[in-house]
Structure 1
Amino acid sequence: MSEASQIQVSYEDQGSKGRYVARIAGIEAVGELTISKVSADLIIADHTYVPDAMRGTGAGSALVNRLIADARAKGQHIVPLCPFVRAQVQRHPEWADVIQF
């Protein structure tokens, strides 16, 4: 089983903020992608952090993929202020329906 298949991503709602959390079995580290909610249909991807212990595992991509999937399901748009999220968006033109610059 690859590390990518072991990544578990959860979402924690914190009122006007939120965060996606990535965990990998056997690694005592947590990656996160934080968001700010501007309105019911607009969120800002603020920051992505993946600790050294998780680098190269696909944890960062898993966080962004979950963000995109959730935004689509909720009819939201994302402003990608985070450099990592912005770089991922540029690699995935198929995400244009949920991205707002």
Structure 2
Amino acid sequence: MMKPEFENIKLNKNAEKMRFEIEVNGHFAYIDYKETTHLIALIHTEAEPELAGTGAAQAVVEKTLAYIKESGKKLLPYCPYVFAYLKKHPEWTSIVDESFPAYSQLSN
């Protein structure tokens, strides 16, 4: 679960930098993405060093998954961090596109 201090921080879809991001005290946690008409691929999750261990990376993942769910698009979780999160939280499997190569590993 996301830490309470992140709940009211707005997710920004930064189209210029091609990343979903949250800003915490002037520092960013973000996920690089690629997008098509029906799919959003999450490539890499990162938090600036100042946010290490704060839960910011997990918060940006949860907010981004919620965004994808609301958008009606399907997810391609290429980012290992996102993939590991999905394995621990199978309730999100429904938004993963079944064409994703490791899809079968999520439903175990």
TM-score, normalised with respect to structure 2? 0.76
Deviation by residue 1:18-54 (Cα, 9 ceiling, x = unmatched) = 31112112xx4222101001x2211110111112210
Q: Deviating runs (4+, > 3 A) in structure 1?
A: none
Relative to total residues, which structure has the larger strand share, 1 or 2?
A: 1
Take 2:56 and 2:89, find their aligned partners in 1: how far apart are those partners?
17
Aligned pairs, number: 94
Q: Is the 8 A contact 1:4 1:58 kept in 2?
A: no
Shift in CA distance, 74/6, structure 1 to aligned 2, threshold 3 Å: closer
TM-score (norm 1): 0.80
Match of 2:85 in 1: 88
Q: CA separation of 1:6/1:64 partners in 2, compared to 1, >3 Å: closer, same or farther?
A: closer
Structure 1 alignment gaps of length 5 or more: none
- CA-to-aligned-CA distance 1:45-91 (integer Å, 9 cap, x gap): 01111122101111111111111111111111111111111111111
- Equivalent pairs: percent with the same residue? 26
Q: Equivalent of 1:59, from 21, 32, 56? A: 56
